[in-house]
Amino acid sequence: MNRLLKTREIWLALAILAVIVLVTFRFPRFSQPANLLTIFNDTSILMMLALGQMAVILTRSIDLSMASNLALTGMVVAMVNAAFPMIPIPLLILGCILVGAALGAFNGILVWKLDIPSIVVTLGTLTIFRGLVFIISGGAWVNAAQMSPAFIQLQRGSFLGLPILSYFAIAVAILVYILMTRTPQGRAFYAIGVNPTAAVYTGIDVGRTKFLAFVLSGAISGLAGYLWISRYVIASVEVASGYELTIIAACVIGGVSIAGGIGTVAGALLGALFLGVVNNALPVIGVSPFWQMAVSGAAILIAVILNARGESRKGRIILKKAEVAA
Amino acid sequence: MTDTTASGRRLPDRLDTPLKSAVRSWETLLVLVAIGIFIANSIASPYFLNAWSLSDMTFNFTEKALIALAMALVIITGEIDLSVASIIALASTLMGLVLNQFGAPTPVLVLVGILTGLACGAFNGWLVTGLKLPSIVVTIGTMSLFRGIAFIILGDQSYGGYPRDFAWFGQGYVWWVISFELVLFLVAAVIFYVLLHHTNFGRRVFAIGNNATAAQFSGVRVDRIKFVLFCLTGLMSGITAVLLTARLGSTRPSIAQGFELDVITMVVLGGVSILGGAGSIIGVVLAALIIGLVTFGLGLLNVPGIVMTIFTGTLLIIVIALPILWNMWKARQA
């Protein structure tokens, strides 16, 4: 099983390499380290979000509200920064993570305590969060002139040749990796995805675990809110509109099973990188950016067809169904 | 879709009497909500209670509701189709293409729209039943693919210049204030009602949603029925593409963006279980009416569209949460 997962990620890495090599044949400069680092940096936000979404999908749930959460948290932090430029940026980032986590916790509570299917809850909060962006901003934009220089410049600084934004992605990836592979909580995400009944018998609270997955995806969305706003230097109602599906696409391409329990940090990262590389390569080889959407759609379908082969789980049910504790 | 097996449904020892179950049914709750919103609208705006206003109101939901009828069946079988809005975009784009390239007459336009929808639905159905892939992922993929093709064809351009007799499908009235769209929706609702609640096919749809394996062993051709339902959803999306294109009079690749979430909201609000196995067409029709009333009423009060989405989102969560809270409260009393 483990070997199988490893090969899947190797295949995806090879696919990414193949795209890079093919483009390099026509445009040698594409594979220069500087350009590859740019692509990595461009994909940083998507990689983080994909990791948050993965935690939720592992528990057999789905979070459609991530992009709206990002937009709402981003608008909040932009307005706070515009009104009180003296607040230090690290404090603002902490605030973003907390606001995002609180929004995620709202999703999580409804899933945990009321047992409403996550797709219904997050479908609702998807519209509610984005509507709130309009209400708090009155439909107005917060633009570059209103944001403080430190707010905009923080992620543009670089350290050892890599932009700070990339370090955010690396840090989130390391933290999620440790959480998923080295802590009981991380294993619980997998356990309730693979077999919720068995998880109940081993003493895992299914509802609480789902709740924590939503808090995690919310916190990452919040962090991404700040990074997105300070990167594109505009906060508006339309920020990241429709992006929730790109995040899910990255997970699916990365081999995260929508049925829960299967998925790795490396896979989700590679899935996001694949989309990033393809989106960067298309304009380079002279394909109109209007092809992007169809290409990523085709990539999702191919990925899911390939992944479905290794996914059929075999196993015997020894215990009868447990009533899943609410 | 994702947590279908977490807990089984319990069968009650004794069924409620017909009257009691009718009073406590989801549909009754929806009727009360609809009446409440209707009254609130009448009080809030002097322009609401007027035949033409109410007629305009129906345009807010008929197109989405047409798809919701078919989507309800798909969701009852435990699947989902997120690609419906993208099917509309592709169908509308192809209609514009045949009009602008070949000057196709109205009947051909309508045929192209409907057949495109049907073909897209069949493609979804083949991926889900033929290749055994999870529908939520498949339709997220085809959602990008179908609209992506529309973007490839149209880019940042738009198609216009639809013939006048074509516009009738979206703007025409059959009699007085009764629009063609409304009549089509009512006819479709009756057909879907009979199909789901009074035919063998409908019983099989419920059987699949409650236990696909048991249904399979009972001789229900699960895959074939699911395939037909995806085709049906595609077909309804194609029909909606005709109506929407005719009403707007132009096609952009971004047409009907976000429709899929509104359609699913209608279906879930209508009492269809997102886990499959339960639901009714009457509930979906009522939910469509409620969403139409809410958005139109708020529109009369000059509430911006984005704020309306808060109301529909909140309505969705509250209407789902209330019965659950009520049952929890009752369980605590007992």
Encode pLDDT of B158-181 as tens digits.
Answer: 998 899 889 888 888 888 888 999
Are residues B242 and B95 in contact, defined by beta-carbon separation less than 8 angstroms?
yes
Q: Are A134 and A185 in contact (CB under 8 A)?
A: no
Residue B33 tokens read as 């909500």
* pLDDT beyond 80 at B6: no
Question: Under a CB-based contact definition with an 8 Å cutoff, are residues A269 and A44 in contact?
Answer: no
B151, A115: Cβ pair inside 8 Å?
Answer: no
Dihedral Cα B47, B52, B54, B59, nearest 10 deg: -120
pLDDT score for B11: 59
B324/A114 touch (CB, cutoff 8 Å), yes or no: yes
Residue by residue, DSSP assigns B33-88 as: HHHHHHHHHHHH-TTSSSHHHHHHHHHTTHHHHHHHHHHHHHHHTT-----HHHHH
Residue B299 has pLDDT above 90, yes or no: no
Facing residue for A297 by CB, picked from B142, B274, B308:
B142
Structural contact between residues A71 and A126, judged by C-beta atoms closer than 8 angstroms: no
CB atoms within 10 A of CB A290: 18
For residue B71, pLDDT over 80 is answered with yes
pTM comes to: 0.85
Distance between CA atoms of B247 and B241, rounded to whole angstroms? 10
Of B54, B52, B68, B66, which Cα lies nearest the Cα of B242?
B66
Whether residues A301 and B3 touch (CB distance < 8 A) is answered with: no
Q: Which two tokens stand for residue A59?
A: 């528990």
Q: Quick check: B291 and B68 in contact, CB under 8 A?
A: no
Separation CA A225–CA A219 (nearest Å): 10
Q: Decide if A127 and B310 are in contact by the 8 Å CB cutoff.
A: yes
Q: Is B71 on the interface with A (CB under 8 A)?
A: no
DSSP summary character for residue A26: H
Contacts of B152 in chain A (CB under 8 A): 288, 290-291, 294
- Would you say the ipTM is above 0.90? no
User: And the tokens for A297?
Assistant: 């759609």
Residues 6+ apart with CB under 8 A from B18: none
Chain B, 257 to 286: residues with Cβ < 8 Å from chain A are 257-258, 261, 264-265, 268, 274-275
At A159 the three-state DSSP class reads: strand
Residue of B nearest to A241 (CA): B258
Confirm if A8 and A267 have CB atoms less than 8 A apart: yes
Query: pLDDT category, B295, cuts 50, 70, 90?
Result: confident
The whole-angstrom separation of Cα B33 and Cα B290 is 7
pLDDT at A108: 95
Sorted by sequence, the CB contacts under 8 Å of residue A137 that are 6+ apart come out as A75, A79, A235, A236, A237
Helices (H), chain A: 2-26, 33-58, 66-83, 89-113, 118-137, 149-153, 164-182, 184-194, 196-201, 206-232, 243-253, 265-284, 292-309
* Tokens matching residue A47: 């990689």
Contact A123 B264 (CB under 8 A): yes
Task: Kindly report the length of chain A.
Answer: 326
Indicate the SS3 state at residue A143: strand
Residue A87, C-beta contacts closer than 8 angstroms, at least 6 positions apart: A80, A81
Report residue B104's pLDDT band, with 50, 70 and 90 as the boundaries: confident
Question: Residues with Cβ < 8 Å from B304, sequence gap 6 or more?
Answer: A134, A139
Map tokens 């059959």 to a residue: B174
On whether the CB atoms of residues B113 and B245 are closer than 8 A, the answer is yes
Residues of B in contact with A306 (CB under 8 A): none
Q: Give the contacts of B328 (CB within 8 A, at least 6 positions apart).
A: none
Cβ partners under 8 Å of residue A24, min gap 6: A30, A31
- B180 vs B185: CA distance, rounded Å: 9
Per-residue model confidence (pLDDT) at position A324: 46
Q: Are A252 and B141 within 8 A, CB to CB?
A: yes
Cα maximum dimension of chain A:
64
Q: Is B91 in contact with B117 (CB distance < 8 Å)?
A: yes
Contacts of B148 in chain A (CB under 8 A): 291-298
Q: Say yes or no for a CB contact (<8 Å) between B2 and A117.
A: yes
Paired residues of A220 in beta bridges: none
Q: Name the nearest CA neighbour of B317 among A215, A211, A112, A114.
A: A114
Q: What is the rounded CA–CA span in Å between residue B3 and residue A116? A: 10
Q: Provide block-wise average pLDDT over 10 residues at a time, chain A (326 residues).
A: 64 87 86 87 95 95 94 94 90 95 96 89 91 90 87 84 90 95 92 90 92 96 94 89 88 88 92 90 83 86 79 48 45
Lowest mean pLDDT across A126-140, B32-46, B297-311? B297-311
Enclosing H/E stretch for A263: none
B80: chain A residues, CB-CB within 8 Å:
119
pLDDT for A45: 95
Question: In this predicted model, what pLDDT tens digit does every residue of B225-263 receive, in sequence order?
Answer: 999 999 999 999 999 999 999 999 999 998 988 788 889
**Cβ-count burial of A276 within 10 angstroms (0-12 exposed, 13-18 middle, 19+ buried)?**
buried
A106 vs B contacts (CB less than 8 Å): none
- Cα angle B257-B185-B76, degrees, rounded to a multiple of 5: 70
B1 touches chain A (CB under 8 A): yes
Give the Cβ contact number of residue A270 at 10 Å.
Answer: 26
Interval B292-318 mean pLDDT:
85
- pLDDT exceeds 70 at position B4: no
Residue B144 · residue A297 · CB < 8 Å:
yes
Please give the pLDDT value at position B187: 97
Predicted local distance difference test score (pLDDT) of residue B7:
46
CB-based contact B117:B237 (threshold 8 Å): yes
